[in-house]
Chains A and B, each alone.
Chain A
Amino acid sequence: DVRMTQSPSSLSASVGDRVTITCRASRSISSYLNWYQQKPGKAPQLLMYAASTLQSGVPSRFSGSGSGTNFTLTISSLQPEDFATYYCQQSYSTLIFTFGPGTTVDIK
């Protein structure tokens, strides 16, 4: 099974900051990596798929990169609505998925 890790587990940042979240897979998953955002009490929402493709409607301040085992999600200029928990998820194994443990971004 592919295991996913994320770092940091949480971070505090200010509006306007550049934020980077890292996700690592236990073995190569090519670019089969997705990112989700979840706000408290809400369902997760897809941000990005295939490591770097922005889902329709997601602001361009979000970007993703990486392949193999190392991936990053970057928010170029943090906005108030971006304070949330972010999860990576691998989809290398067809319809078997693994989520990372999450990274919570809160207000400094």
Chain B
Amino acid sequence: EVQLLESGGGFVQPGGSLRLSCATSGFTFGSYAMGWIRQAPGKGLEWVSTINGKGDDTYYADSVKGRFIISRDGSDSTLSLQLNSLRAADTAVYFCARVSITFGGLIIYFDSWGQGTLVTVSS
């Protein structure tokens, strides 16, 4: 069974930093791209970042580019997101998700999600 478990959320002041982790199990970690998606309180889903299976290709939403860093560690099947220069607008539940890529790379979707970890940025 695929399992994704986020941790590391919490309360931080504007300008501060936080590191989120997503522990995974039940699948071959290195064979899948992984992503982070966030949801501000009472709002919709916002894609944040994606990393390919090898970890050498990363993508970011414009809203976090230059401030957040996605990474992965194959030795313990963990996905991470380093959040720097945090703003109030970054307050959200952060979900990690597995990316399924099929049909020769044409069909891509998030097929498994964690339960999320809450990040609150406030003074």
Contact = CB atoms under 8 A, between A and B. Distances in A.
Given A95-B52, A99-B47, A34 B109 contact: yes
Q: Which range holds the interface residue count of chain B?
A: 20 to 34
Interface string B22-40: 0000000000010101000
Contacts of B59: 94-96
A91 B47 contact: no
B107 A91 contact: yes
A99 B46 CA distance: 6
B87 to A, nearest CB: 20
A87 B109 contact: no
Contacts of A43: 95, 113-116
A46 B47 contact: no
Q: Which range holds the interface residue count of chain A?
A: 20 to 34
Contacts of A102: 44-45
A94 B109 CA distance: 10
A66 interface: no
B45 A44 contact: yes
Interface string A28-58: 0000101010100011111001100101000
Given A43-B116, A44-B110, 7 more contacts: A34-B110, A36-B110, A38-B45, A43-B114, A94-B59, A99-B45, A102-B44
